[in-house]
Amino acid sequence: MFTTSYQKLKQFVIRGLKWLWENKIKILKILLYFLLAVLIKLKKLLKKLFTYLWKHKKPLLKAGGYTAFFSFLIVAFLFIYYLKDIPSRDTINDLFVPESTKILDRTGTSILYDIYDEYNRTVISAEQIPPFVKYATIVAEDDNFYHHWGIDIKAIARAFLINIKGGGVIQGGSTITQQYIKNLFLTPKRTLARKVKEAILAIDIEFLYTKDEILTGYLNYVPYGHNAYGVEAASRVYFNKNAKDLTLAESAILAALPKATTYYSNNPEALKARQVYILDRMLHFGYITQDEHTKSVSETPQINAAYSSLSSPHFVIMVKQYLEQKYGAAFIQQAGLKVVTTLDKTLQDAAEKAVENYAETNVKNFNANNAALVALDPRTGQILAMIGSKNYLGNSSPEGCIPGKTCAFDPQVNITTSLQQPGSAFKPFAYAAAFRKGYTPDTIVYDIKTEFNPNCPWTAHQEKDEFGLECYHPDNYDSLQFGPISLKEALAQSRNIGSVKVLYLAGVENTIKLAQDMGIESLKDRTGYGLSLVLGGADVTLLEQTSAFGTFATRGTRNTPQFILKIEDKNGNVLEEFKQESRKVLEENIADQINYILSTNQFRTRVFGEQNYLTIGGLDIAVKTGTTQEYMDAWAVGYTPSLVAGVWVGNNNNKPMNNAPGASASAPIWNMFFKEVYANKAKESTNLKEKEFYFNLPTISDEEKFVTPDIDTTGIDVLDGQPQGHSILHLVAKDEPRKSGDSKDSPLYLNWENAVRNWLGNK
């Protein structure tokens, strides 16, 4: 047993000596650094000590020799023991620093959200840190920073005496360099091992970096509370600004926090006292003038008590989900990506203002508990604004409801990307498909009660046919019948009966194909829909519907919705960049015809009146509203050549509203948004350089006018606006209306024709 222990000890000593020899240069350098620091700081004390030793050299020689020898062994052992765990210089240089990923607006200057795991940190350069922040930190943490070699013997001795007198740990003696090392590599646990490691590496790092580099590193690492690490993150959390914009008073506040983050951030009076103490010391050391001191002492900066970095929440969450799917959640939490999005803060603010302005009014007037808005640039597909609910941070209602199921207001559900029925807002796709076939805006159909199930009587009073299938004879929302009506008026006035006839003429499959091409991707199965489709009988998202209307605005060019302009890593390398995805899906003249109809107020006045929320003075603007059965959904989607926006109003649980058509519930929000945006453009275009207006909204000029369509004369009376006393199926071939023929073989011919004859006979 003794032999085995001896062999193990021998092997241990050999390995130790071998390691000492391999690392002799590093060990000697560290010892030299330490001895130099001690000698410089204690030269006066050492001089007195050596004088005393010389006078008493004989009696002390023997004892001193033993003491020195064993002291040296102890110190050497501690250095050697702990040196093995000290990171190398290469380790320090190559150290990976976790940084938060920033989601920014389209200017790249406004932070919408910080994505991080444990550490909310943004590393910034020395030039981005104001001198006041540096000076305040030095006087608060280490006023001898520029004069020591990593450890401050005087500070340690002073802290030791104060702690002895106080009977506990009252003051620390760590330098900024030591704190930096601790934050970089070591645990916060106060042990002898950690303090020795801290001292060794502090001395070493002082030879590796300049003082300013060490201070910059410290200010990028030090915790400030509320999960903010580094002065940039702290500036955002406490003052909602960049570090470079901090005032002297704010700099002193931040410098006060690292000493006791929780205590000071939750005790305003103590924090103020600490701030004044730091300002006093800055004056004492000559870092600020008396005037600056007086002014800053009188200031008490407002701290964001309930700070939330989540701006434009539904948009941000959509971007975050995309990043997580593409790059992985763990990666983006610490990669320090810079994600410049398409969101325009000016338009986002206008959208929030419009939704908020009508939120409570809609609850009171219509029992409509929620609202959403999305806006895009139709020329690029870039999403400019997104409001997924009227208040993301609000409480679900009614109280006790089940989110995602029974809540009328479900704040965190993004309505803009959720499926809803669009009501009459779907009608323009059917009319565009009909125009493609050869029908014209002047084509006449009869807006009268009509049965669309060929197995049901034309009188439109029966509920089911002989096979048990539902008869289908929809009413207009106002229950009125206008008789012969042009397609342009039927669309502008949102006549249900006329629109179902248009869908039949255009073809359900053709209409779905066109809607899909224009951006309605939710319509997967073209065979699963009937004639009720044109009245909103399919589920679509507000984002899809709004984007598809943008295809009309661009005269038939489909631009895929996008929300990323650029993604860079923390070194400035571009990972991805906006690339427009465009394709022509609709003939220009057909898009022009839809724009002409939806932007001409006189076509809709019989129903909506001269003064309505669908017009905005001075703007050539097209708009279509939509209302579903029992008022479950109210829509308004409209556009100029350079901006398209859609609004939805309703209840998350599909509970019916109280008599809330789109023109009354959604259109006011849509109208206010457009007015605000173009009013801002008119003001900003007069005093800003073009490059400073990030969303390039043209001034109100020919560029913001729709192109006048070519509406040719076909030579066929019913297509040229002349009623002929018959249904259109009696007068033209349904699928080739500009060729001679009729549609008497259509299964709906008798129902349509008999209804017209009956209406004319009763007139």
Whether pLDDT at 142 is above 70: yes
Distance between CA atoms of residues 38 and 187, nearest Å = 25
Rounded mean pLDDT of 636-665? 90
Residue 514's pLDDT is 97
What is the overall mean pLDDT for the chain?
Answer: 83
Name the nearest CA neighbour of 275 among 256, 296, 289.
256
Check whether 320 has a pLDDT greater than 60: yes
Average pLDDT over residues 164-178: 63
364-377, pLDDT tens digit by residue? 999 999 999 999 99
Mean pLDDT across the stretch 652-678?
A: 89
State whether 135 and 277 are in the same domain: yes
Confidence of residue 84 (pLDDT cuts 50, 70, 90): low
Domain termination residue (choose one: 297, 323, 340)? 297
Percentage of residues of the chain with pLDDT beyond 70: 80
User: Could you tell me if residue 165 is inside a domain?
Assistant: yes
Same domain, yes or no, for 174 and 35?
no
In a domain, residue 332? The reply is: yes
Per-residue pLDDT, averaged over 154-177, amounts to 62
Q: What is the pLDDT of residue 663?
A: 79
Range with top average pLDDT, 196-210, 226-240, 293-307, 438-452: 438-452
Any domain includes 148: yes
Q: What angle do CA 599, 601, 605 make, to 5 degrees?
A: 145
Characterize the bridge pairing of strands 101-104 and 338-341. Answer: parallel
130 and 253, same domain (yes or no)? yes
pLDDT for the residue 118:
74
The mean per-residue pLDDT over the stretch 634-653 comes to 95
Same domain, yes or no, for 135 and 263?
yes
The first and second tokens of residue 434, run together, are: 């009909």
Same domain, 211 and 341: no
In the predicted model, what is the mean pLDDT of residues 211-236? 88
50 and 198 both lie in a single domain: no
**Each residue of 462-490: pLDDT tens digit?**
999 889 999 999 999 889 999 999 999 99
For residue 576, give the DSSP letter.
E
Which residue, 707, 731, 757, sits at the end of a domain?
A: 707
Find the mean pLDDT for residues 205-221. 87
Q: pLDDT tens, 485-514? A: 999 999 999 999 999 999 999 999 999 999
- For residues 682 and 700, the answer to whether their CB atoms sit within 8 Å is yes
Instruction: Give the angle 421-423-424 at the CA atoms, nearest 5°.
Output: 150
* pLDDT for the residue numbered 346: 93
Backbone angles phi, psi at 375, to 5 degrees: -135, 140
Which tokens in the block code for residue 96? Answer: 């990976």
Dist CA 356 CA 672 (whole Å): 11
pLDDT of residue 526: 72
pLDDT reported for residue 209: 84
pLDDT bin (cut points 50, 70, 90) of residue 426 is very high
DSSP alpha helices (H): ranges in 602-695? 605-608, 662-665, 667-684
Helix axes 496-506, 427-437, angle to 10 degrees: 50
Do 315 and 343 contact (CB within 8 A), yes or no?
A: yes
The predicted pLDDT at position 261 comes to 76
Centroid of chain to Cα 72 = 61
- Does 373 lie in the same domain as 317? yes
The verdict on residue 329 lying in a domain is yes
Q: For 310-322, what is the mean pLDDT?
A: 90
Whether 608 shows a pLDDT value over 70: the answer reads yes
pLDDT of residue 302: 79
**What is the spatial distance between Cα 431 and Cα 440, in angstroms, rounded to a whole number?**
9
Average pLDDT over residues 86-101: 68
Residue 686 scores a pLDDT above 50: no
* Domain assignment present for 20: yes
Q: Is the domain of 691 the same as that of 638?
A: yes
Same domain, 576 and 633: yes
Does the pLDDT value for residue 273 go beyond 80?
yes
Phi, psi of 187 (to 5 degrees): -80, 155
Mean pLDDT of 300-316: 76
pLDDT at 16: 56
What is the spatial distance between Cα 256 and Cα 271, in angstroms, rounded to a whole number?
A: 7
pLDDT at 690 over 80: no
CATH code: domain of residue 240: 1.10.3810.10
- 137 and 266 share one domain: yes
Contact 92, 211 (CB under 8 A): no
- Final residue of a structural domain among 297, 321, 350: 297
Query: Could you list the active site residues?
Result: 141, 424
Judged by phi (left if over 0) then psi (alpha if -120 to 50, else beta), residue 664 lies in alpha
Amino acid 178: pLDDT: 84
Residues paired with residue 419 on neighbouring β-strands, in sequence order: 541
- Would you state the pLDDT for residue 615? 86
Q: Please state which of the ranges 209-218, 303-312, 663-672 shows the lowest mean pLDDT.
A: 303-312
The answer to whether residues 264 and 199 belong to one domain is yes
- Specify the pLDDT at position 402: 87
DSSP for 125-170, please give it.
Answer: -GGGS-HHHHHHHHHHH-TTGGGSSS--HHHHHHHHHHHHHHTS--
CATH number at 639 reads: 3.40.710.10
Q: What is the mean pLDDT of residues 227-247?
A: 90
Q: Is residue 331 part of a domain?
A: yes
- Share in percent of the chain as helix, strand, coil (round to 5): 50, 10, 40
Q: Tell me which amino acid residue 697 is.
A: L
User: Among candidates 500, 496, 499, 554, which has minimal Cα distance to 531?
Assistant: 500
Q: Is the pLDDT of residue 614 over 80?
A: yes
Q: Is residue 597 a part of any domain in this protein?
A: no
Per-residue pLDDT tens digits for 47-72: 554 554 455 555 544 445 555 555 55
Q: Mean pLDDT across the stretch 599-614? A: 87
pLDDT (0 to 100) of residue 659 = 80
Instruction: Determine, yes or no, domain membership for 214.
Output: yes
Residue 698, pLDDT score: 55
Q: Indicate whether 49 and 73 sit together in one domain.
A: yes
Of 186 and 757, the structure prediction assigns the larger pLDDT to: 757
User: How many domains, in total, are found in the chain?
Assistant: 3
Q: What separation in angstroms does the CA of 76 have from each of 21, 32, 490, 506?
A: 14, 12, 96, 93
The whole-number pLDDT of residue 19 equals: 54
Residue 348 clears pLDDT 80, i.e. is over it: yes
- Domain range for 170 is 119-297
pLDDT band at 32 (very low <50, low <70, confident <90, very high): low
